[in-house]
Amino acid sequence: MPALLTIDYPGPPPVRPDAVRDTARRLLRLCGQSESEWSILLLDDAAMAELNERYRHKKGPTNVLAFALREGEPFSEAPAAGSPLGDVVVSLDTAAREARQEGITLHRRLAVLLIHGLLHLLGMDHERSDAEAEEMEAAERELLRQLDDDKRREKMIQLAVNVDHVATLRQARGIAEPDPVLAAGICELAGASGIVVHLREDRRHIQDRDVHLLRQTVKTKLNLEMGATEEIIGIALAVKPDMVTLVPEKRQELTTEGGLNVAGQKKKLGRAIERFTSAGIPVSLFIDPDSRQIKAASEVGATFVEIHTGRYCDATSEAERHHEFDLVATAAEEAFEAGLRVNAGHGLNYLTTARVAALGTIEELSIGHAIMARAILVGLDQAVREMLALLPRG
């Protein structure tokens, strides 16, 4: 039992005990104290005021009090593994007030206060000197960042389906079918967490009409893939998709070939990102698995990067595939560490996807061709039978 939680609050407590225990356990692990034990007591302001008076001779409540079992021992000497560390007491009323002031959730404020308390239990004390106060603040920020990363890694990976190929088939005939808007609805009903379409300058597959209709019909998340040209930026700002993914676009290419050279056009991309961000539209940059591009993406203010998985998927030998996979894995880790949200895609199929999906740093995969190709094959039998059913039988 590494985190003993007691809630002594009049009425239903405004926090979820499981979430508090989970945060407490993670914090112990992040401090290398998985085997140790700390007690957490959550109270109201009246009870906290009593403790504050009794132990600190101060009037009124405070947000957090820590009672270390190894009071006075230096932080550098970590407590022996498995030892009880002490108690941290938090006033939920004060924490809730502070949360409101900062515009954050009570659980988030509580995490910050628990971190503060835990560092006290481990021997840090901001009251000893200015230098130690600074050191403790830095440790708090770092632990909060690590806690966020720890939780992000466990998020379930999601699938966004690219329906461009449905439009490609429609455009090949120049008629109204098949309709990517209907296809998008089917993908969502099947569990896709988002729909991706690429509105190309040459309109070879997705048309303006599709984007406008999808904006009205997509219930999950519409991700508009696009080149950063003035015309398409204007359309995107008018349509307001849930996010945009900026890609390089060449007229002659069959599909997006490489990632964006973010490092080489930071000013231009920075300006485009600024326009989208002020319109409340997060931007993803489609990049090769390359440290330079990740650093640049972070510098120009992107929210997401989408790591290009094409070379990994197209590898023709095991050795090459391993090498390309390592590049994707390292890039995803670097982007994650840089605080970017990480997606990945291009060329992923039924053989190459699982390994990328297992990385833990990637939020969402964007997949089109493999799913549409498979849909034709698994749907063909039924399509033929449905047509046969229309024919008169003798």
Residue 202 CB, shortest distance to ligand PXP, in Å, is: 14
Q: Which is nearer to ligand PXP, 123 or 368 (CB)?
A: 368
Does residue number 198 form part of the binding site for ligand PXP (CB under 6 A)?
yes
Which residues between 127 and 166 bind ligand PXP (CB under 6 A)? 162, 164
Among 346, 359, 362, 364, binds ligand PXP (CB under 6 A): 346
Does residue 322 have an active-site annotation?
Answer: no
Q: Which of 33, 256, 298, 361 binds ligand PXP (CB under 6 A)?
A: 256
Site membership for ligand PXP, residue 366 (CB under 6 A): yes
Q: Quick check: 245 binds ligand PXP (CB under 6 A)?
A: yes
Told to judge if 333 belongs to the known catalytic residues of this protein, a careful annotator would answer no
Within 210-229, the residues that bind ligand PXP by CB under 6 A are 225
Minimum Å distance from CB 224 to ligand PXP?
11
Catalytic site includes residue 225: yes
Residue whose CB is less far from ligand PXP, 79 or 368: 368
CB of 234 to ligand PXP, least distance (A): 21
Q: Smallest distance from the beta carbon of 161 to ligand PXP, in angstroms?
A: 9
Largest Cα separation within the chain, whole Å, is: 99
Stretch that binds ligand PXP, among 43-51, 93-101, 184-192, 363-371 (CB under 6 A): 363-371
Q: By CB under 6 A, tell whether 368 contacts ligand PXP.
A: yes
Is 293 an interacting residue with respect to ligand PXP (CB under 6 A)? no
Task: List the catalytic residues.
Answer: 198, 225, 346
